[in-house]
Structure 1
């Protein structure tokens, strides 16, 4: 009898011990420790490089030598007096805001169309999304062979109707918008998929009630679809803004920032200054400008759109 009681007490103690360990594992202290590996990776690959870039922006480092001199705010003063910085910032805003506008408008139209019961919607979704999986650099080179001056597919068609080809990528008034178009074409599929997910989560009862009340198709879209799509709109706009404002690969493939500074963005100018001009200090100051610009624009857009969701 005593042995039985001893065995049962051991079993109870074991169960109690397991419960205590489980409770300890679920405690807030232990759960917070689970964030530690991600926090260490964030500090190593994001926070430390950011602080290092901030430090380099106050130096005249060339990007290669072991020595450099502190020059204070000279790089930022140079930025303010740079005659090309206005063009570069304008181009960066066009790439960001222009791509965001076109991707969201066209992506929403595709989503509305492909949310209907049509035969080819599966293959159409695949075709629209397919460019997303291609490298941006490769995508840029594909479109380069379409727009290039000599031997470009578009100019070959134009030569059938006139004697001279068009200098499309060399025209400062056109090349920025061509780059915006290519970026829109490539990432249109992401916007479409997010909007499709949003549309499919809207209960059909809302549309039925609106139809019974006599609402037209446009009124149903304005009063039912758009308000219910606000979370999807928020995600798309913020992601598109961040991606467009830091656009790099497509610009390099199509124009390499030329002619001159006509199609340069902040990211391509940083690349040029660091590797071609060995001017890492000034490149770092432009990187900080780009960080501030992307942060301000994306946070402002996110805050405004979140308020719209609540309304």
Structure 2
């Protein structure tokens, strides 16, 4: 019996080796170098100075606030919009298959391409959005040049691109619901809204939980769309932790940028894992 157990444990060796080499070792090395000022020749140990600078310098810690705003809003909008779109696309409309393809199409396009395209569409004088608003008699809006609006313009673009995946996950969850629930509710006189609230919403909670986790973690890690649309500007208005880390690497502040990576890792771990545990507990209770 013991020999069989030892033999079975050997199957864990390849996976554990990959985990240690590709994840654990780089994580420990990153943590060490986040406590130093280093280049590719030598390093100087500085303790927590990099973290203190990242958390106290206004041009750096704004990335933490923007990252949280970005992750929460993109997650919330995708969850809500995709739910209603999925319900519409699982109804008895004749063109639902075509519409499903249309709603999923933005996800097939490169994020950089989407960013460049929307940056052009949002151009203050030549963009299609402002040209359309001009026809309606509304003055031009500086979508990406206004520090108070730029981050939300990027968030809107992110939602446009990512809502398709969330919709597909919802559709799978809704189609898995036993139709007899709806038939019974219709016999009892329940309206479409009552069926949506009492049947669809609670029974597609597993799909919703998956979307929340994927959208939230994706928002916390977002970089390419922001960089292609604004480069973190104007000023630091759209900088997130990932873009700040990239800028610091480019400027040669390797220790500071490594500390930023560690901070982003801690943020995701501290927020995402409890969120997942909470959502799973609600799913079991439901």
TM-score range, shorter chain: over 0.9
Q: Distance in 2 between matches of 1:106 and 1:69?
A: 50
Residue in structure 1 matching 2:89, options 97, 114, 118: 114
Residue pairs, 1:46-195, within 5 angstroms: 46-62=23-39, 65-160=40-135, 165-195=140-170
Q: Secondary structure of 1:242's partner?
A: helix
Superposition deviation, residue 32 in structure 1: 4.1
Displacement of 1:269: 0.4
The separation in 1 between residues aligned to 2:19 and 2:113, in whole angstroms, is 30
Alignment match of 1:235 (pick from 210, 228, 243): 210
Question: Structure 2 length normalisation: TM-score?
Answer: 0.92
Q: Matches of 2:270 and 2:44 in 1, distance apart?
A: 31
Q: Deviations over 1:204-246 (max 9, x none)?
A: 1111222233333222222211111111111000010000111
Hey, what's the Cα distance between the residues in 2 that align with 1:32 and 1:122? Answer: 47
Contact kept, 8 Å, 1:94 with 1:180, in 2: the verdict is no
1:257 aligned partner = 232
Q: Deviations over 1:249-285 (max 9, x none)?
A: 000111000111110000000000011x211111111
In the TM superposition, residue 145 of structure 1 has moved relative to its aligned partner by 1.1
Query: Is the contact made by 2:54 and 2:61 (CA closer than 8 Å) also made in structure 1?
Result: no
2:80 is paired with a residue of what secondary structure?
helix
**Native 8 Å contact 1:58 1:71 kept in 2:** yes
CA distance in 1, matches of 2:131, 2:165: 32
What CA distance in whole angstroms lies between the structure 2 residues aligned with 1:32 and 1:110? Answer: 47
Distance 2:27 2:65 in 1: 24
Aligned counterparts of 1:93 and 1:172: Cα–Cα separation in 2: 17
Deviation, 1:183, is 0.9
* Contact 1:59-1:68 within 8 A present in 2 as well: yes
For residues 69 and 167 of structure 1, do their structure 2 counterparts lie closer, same or farther at Cα, with a shift above 3 Å needed? same
Cα drift, residue 42 of structure 1: 2.6
Partners of 1:104 and 1:70 lie apart in 2 by: 44
Deviation by residue 1:4-43 (Cα, 9 ceiling, x = unmatched): xxxxxxxxxxxxxxxxxxxx9xx65555433433332232
Q: How does 1:212-227 map to 2 (within 5 A)?
A: 212-227=187-202
CA shift for structure 1 position 119: 1.4
Distance 2:256 2:30 in 1: 10
Instruction: Please say if residues 273 and 279 of structure 1, whose CA atoms lie closer than 8 Å, have aligned partners that are also in contact.
Output: yes
What secondary structure, in the 3-state scheme, does the structure 1 residue paired with 2:14 have? Answer: helix
Cα shift at 1:289: 1.1
What displacement does 1:180 show? 0.7
Paired position in structure 2 for 1:34? 11
Q: Contact 1:146 / 1:152 at 8 angstroms: preserved in 2?
A: yes
Give the number of the structure whose alpha-carbon radius of gyration is greater.
Answer: 1
1:146 is displaced (CA, Å) by 0.4
The normalised TM-score by structure 1 is 0.85
Deviation at 1:171, TM superposition (A): 0.6
